[in-house]
């Protein structure tokens, strides 16, 4: 069906009326009805850096009446700090470094001006032909296809740059057990994952340096990894995200810019907020049961106001009966964040989530990171529609502030056409023209042009399941987010399926 230019005002009015009707009758994607499957392994194989344990050193430790767990958590005996690096057989082949601590005793106590060892793992996508052996660090699960002594990483692609996730565990914990499975799964979806041993128990519970060293160590670890010749050409420095659990969630907030209170009475009474270490390279962070304080100790200051400068995307997966951190304090933190934010609450769960809830939280987190670190438009669409994960956890999205598309990417409906610059289809971009076939329901458009695009931005996306999404369409003076479904291949026709007024 063709329209004359003189019919444009009538056509625009009909189109606007139809969009409003769709909006009012509740056919919008904005209604969260999507239930998704739990996170599964991706298509890529995974390799890891070396973390071979020296059996002689381990036996010597056992002879002292200690075990490996002491060093994994960090240990202090008679003011001597001990750490997992003691047990590394090939420290030069492991991901390890020496942290030079700034001379600031208010933040770092008696560690100020000293040098502290750190070590951890790097997981990365590798080739299907990588035949290196898996390795158990004391017990399963294993580090997959671990590099041997003197070996370099084998990446799935020699030329591709991968997004990086930095992970921070809870206080006194370490990056083993189910976390290794999580890191492997993330890497199988195309991420490089870095996880440190914080060694928290090298310092006492109420010593400020126990926490304040954490964000400093993570930022330094990123510096070290990006300067490593084996990795520097394989990491996309513009796509770095964070994950953290419990104290690790607090660590991510600090890196995003949060100010916190030291755990002494004077600091709490005076609400003396301190900045520890921030890192502008971290684009977004997803957390599980993030610690925000308990009792009379609001970790991020009275009312959670220490986070009010954070505008980068943040997600919290929190438990409703958490005895370690007050949910009300987490809610205060979320309310004070000024940017994109999500709070998913798990009914009846404690600080240590059940397997089902942990699986749900990892699923939410991965979609979030895909959306805001990988900048995957399909993930952003999923995140805007998801109601829950179909595992056994009782996950419920209770707070959400989602990003508004930039006006510069708005598509204008004019002269019977939608011209969509930089439409993303798979890994390619196209400048696409859609022309109205019918302005009465069902509203349909035909594809009349599609050429490779050099646009530096995207005004829409097309997914493999035939859904075309345009975040902003300007109709007159009203802005809509719209979606279409492919309903014919010959000719190519799209039917309007959703429209939300912005």
The tens digit of pLDDT for each residue in 250-282 reads 999 999 999 999 988 999 999 999 999 999 999
- 89 and 196, same domain (yes or no): yes
Q: Mean pLDDT across the stretch 88-112?
A: 96
Please count the other Cβ atoms lying within 10 Å of the Cβ belonging to residue 189: 19
How far is it, in rounded angstroms, from Cα 461 to Cα 470? 7
CA 68 from centroid of its chain's CA atoms: 31
What SS3 state is found at 134? coil
CA 233 from centroid of its chain's CA atoms: 22
- 164 and 262, same domain (yes or no): yes
Position 37 in a domain: no
State residue 12's pLDDT score.
Answer: 42
Checking if the pLDDT of 430 tops 60, the result is yes
- 158 and 219, same domain (yes or no): yes
Domain span including residue 188 = 45-333
Checking if the pLDDT of 6 tops 70, the result is no
Last residue of a domain, one of 316, 333, 350: 333
State residue 185's pLDDT score.
Answer: 98
- 186 and 288, same domain (yes or no): yes
State residue 93's pLDDT score.
Answer: 97
How far is it, in rounded angstroms, from Cα 189 to Cα 369? 11
Lowest mean pLDDT among 18-22, 190-194, 393-397: 18-22
- 20 and 80, same domain (yes or no): no
State residue 409's pLDDT score.
Answer: 61
How far is it, in rounded angstroms, from Cα 113 to Cα 220? 15
Confidence band for 50, pLDDT divided at 50, 70 and 90: very high
Position 366 in a domain: no
- 286 and 420, same domain (yes or no): no
The tens digit of pLDDT for each residue in 342-359 reads 999 999 999 999 999 999
Last residue of a domain, one of 333, 356, 386: 333
Position 107 in a domain: yes
- 204 and 264, same domain (yes or no): yes
Domain count, the chain: 2
Position 286 in a domain: yes
Checking if the pLDDT of 290 tops 70, the result is yes
- 130 and 274, same domain (yes or no): yes
Q: Mean pLDDT across the stretch 442-465?
A: 84
Q: Mean pLDDT across the stretch 162-167?
A: 98
Confidence band for 404, pLDDT divided at 50, 70 and 90: low
Q: Shortest CA distance to 422 belongs to which of 381, 375, 461, 448? A: 461
Q: Shortest CA distance to 430 belongs to which of 421, 439, 417, 441? A: 421
Lowest mean pLDDT among 80-94, 152-166, 294-308, 446-460: 446-460
Checking if the pLDDT of 1 tops 50, the result is no
Q: Which residues are CB-contacts of 375 (< 8 A; sequence separation ≥ 6)?
A: 239
Q: Shortest CA distance to 292 belongs to which of 319, 265, 264? A: 319
Please count the other Cβ atoms lying within 10 Å of the Cβ belonging to residue 177: 12
Position 130 in a domain: yes
Checking if the pLDDT of 25 tops 60, the result is no
How far is it, in rounded angstroms, from Cα 313 to Cα 256? 9
State residue 268's pLDDT score.
Answer: 93
Confidence band for 69, pLDDT divided at 50, 70 and 90: very high
Confidence band for 22, pLDDT divided at 50, 70 and 90: very low
- 23 and 102, same domain (yes or no): no
CA angle 316, 317, 318 (to 5 degrees): 105
Structure tokens at 138: 């004391």
Q: How far does the chain reach from its first CA to its final CA, in angstroms?
A: 29
State residue 456's pLDDT score.
Answer: 65
Enter the pTM of the model.
0.78
Q: Which residues are CB-contacts of 403 (< 8 A; sequence separation ≥ 6)?
A: 313, 339, 340
- Counting residues of the chain whose pLDDT is more than 70, the rounded percentage is 92
Q: Mean pLDDT across the stretch 196-200?
A: 97
- 108 and 200, same domain (yes or no): yes
- 19 and 79, same domain (yes or no): no
How far is it, in rounded angstroms, from Cα 280 to Cα 242? 12
Confidence band for 462, pLDDT divided at 50, 70 and 90: confident
Confidence band for 381, pLDDT divided at 50, 70 and 90: confident
Position 273 in a domain: yes
CATH (domain of 76): 3.40.50
Give the strand pairing for 461-462 and 467-475: antiparallel
Longest CA–CA separation in the chain, Å: 92
Last residue of a domain, one of 333, 351, 367: 333
Position 428 in a domain: yes
The tens digit of pLDDT for each residue in 124-162 reads 999 999 999 999 999 999 999 999 999 999 999 999 999
- 294 and 415, same domain (yes or no): no
How far is it, in rounded angstroms, from Cα 224 to Cα 118? 11
Position 350 in a domain: no
């Amino acid at each position: 069906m063709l329209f004359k230019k003189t019919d444009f005002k009538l056509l625009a009015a009909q189109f606007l009326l139809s969009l409003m009707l769709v909006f009012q009758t509740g056919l919008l994607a904005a209604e969260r009805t999507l239930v998704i499957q739990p996170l599964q392994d991706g298509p890529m194989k995974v390799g890891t850096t070396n973390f071979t344990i020296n059996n002689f050193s381990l036996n010597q430790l056992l002879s002292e009446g200690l075990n490996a767990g002491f060093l994994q958590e960090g240990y202090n005996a008679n003011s001597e700090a001990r750490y997992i690096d003691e047990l590394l057989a090939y420290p030069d082949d492991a991901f390890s470094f020496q942290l030079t601590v700034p001379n600031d005793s208010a933040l770092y106590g008696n560690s100020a001006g000293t040098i502290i060892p750190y070590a951890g793992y790097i997981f990365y996508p590798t080739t299907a032909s990588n035949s290196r052996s898996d390795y158990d660090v004391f017990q399963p699960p294993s580090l997959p296809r671990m590099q041997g002594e003197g070996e370099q990483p084998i990446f799935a692609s020699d030329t591709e740059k991968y997004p990086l996730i930095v992970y921070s565990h809870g206080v006194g914990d370490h990056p083993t057990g189910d976390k290794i499975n999580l890191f492997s799964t993330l890497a199988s979806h195309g991420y490089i994952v870095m996880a440190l041993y914080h060694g928290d128990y090298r310092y006492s519970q109420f010593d400020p340096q126990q926490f304040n060293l954490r964000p400093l160590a993570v930022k330094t670890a990123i510096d070290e990894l990006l300067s490593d010749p084996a990795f520097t050409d394989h990491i996309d420095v513009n796509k770095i995200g964070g994950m953290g659990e419990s104290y690790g969630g607090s660590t991510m907030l600090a890196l995003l810019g949060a100010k916190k209170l030291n755990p002494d009475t004077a600091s709490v009474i005076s609400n003396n907020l301190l900045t520890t270490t921030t890192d502008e390279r971290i684009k977004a962070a997803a957390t599980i049961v993030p610690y925000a304080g308990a009792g009379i100790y609001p970790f991020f200051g009275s009312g959670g106001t220490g986070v009010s400068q954070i505008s980068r995307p943040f997600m919290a997966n929190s438990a409703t009966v958490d005895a370690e951190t007050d949910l009300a304090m987490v809610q205060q933190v979320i309310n004070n964040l000024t940017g994109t934010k999500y709070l998913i609450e798990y009914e009846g769960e404690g600080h240590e989530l059940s397997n089902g809830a942990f699986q749900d939280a990892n699923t939410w987190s991965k979609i979030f990171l895909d959306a805001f670190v990988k900048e995957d438009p399909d993930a952003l669409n999923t995140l805007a529609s998801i109601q829950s994960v179909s595992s056994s956890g009782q996950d419920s999205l209770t707070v959400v502030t989602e990003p508004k598309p930039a006006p510069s990417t708005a598509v204008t409906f004019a002269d019977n056409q939608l011209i969509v610059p930089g439409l993303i289809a798979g890994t390619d971009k196209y400048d696409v023209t859609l022309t109205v076939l019918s302005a009465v329901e069902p509203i349909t458009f035909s594809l009349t042009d599609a050429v490779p695009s050099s646009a530096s931005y995207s005004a829409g996306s097309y997914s493999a399941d035939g859904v075309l999404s345009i975040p902003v369409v300007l109709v007159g003076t009203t802005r809509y987010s719209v979606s279409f479904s492919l309903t014919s291949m010959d000719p190519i026709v799209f039917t309007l399926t959703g429209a939300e007024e912005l």
